[in-house]
Amino acid sequence: MHQCRLRAIDEQKHLVEKAIEDIQLLGNKEQLDALDDMLSSGSNEFTGILKALRSELRNELNLHAVTGDLRFYRMQRS
């Protein structure tokens, strides 16, 4: 069980690193600024990047802009 959990954590780290690489390669100025803010602060808070991605996606889909905070739901382990 312990090895499976470590493998899952390694996979999650890889996916996060890949997402950061993709933003650096393909992101617009707002996304790059949000990423730079996160990385330079030493934080792992992705809210700014998610807001920038949401903004661009909604624009591309011709949806109305939204400005509210993102809310997250995390299930608790039992």
Low-confidence ranges of the chain (pLDDT < 70): 1, 78
Q: What is the pLDDT of residue 7?
A: 82
Q: What is the pLDDT of residue 39?
A: 92
Do 23 and 35 form a contact (C-beta atoms < 8 A)? yes
Tokens of 48: 């700014």
Do 44 and 61 form a contact (C-beta atoms < 8 A)? no
52, amino acid identity: A
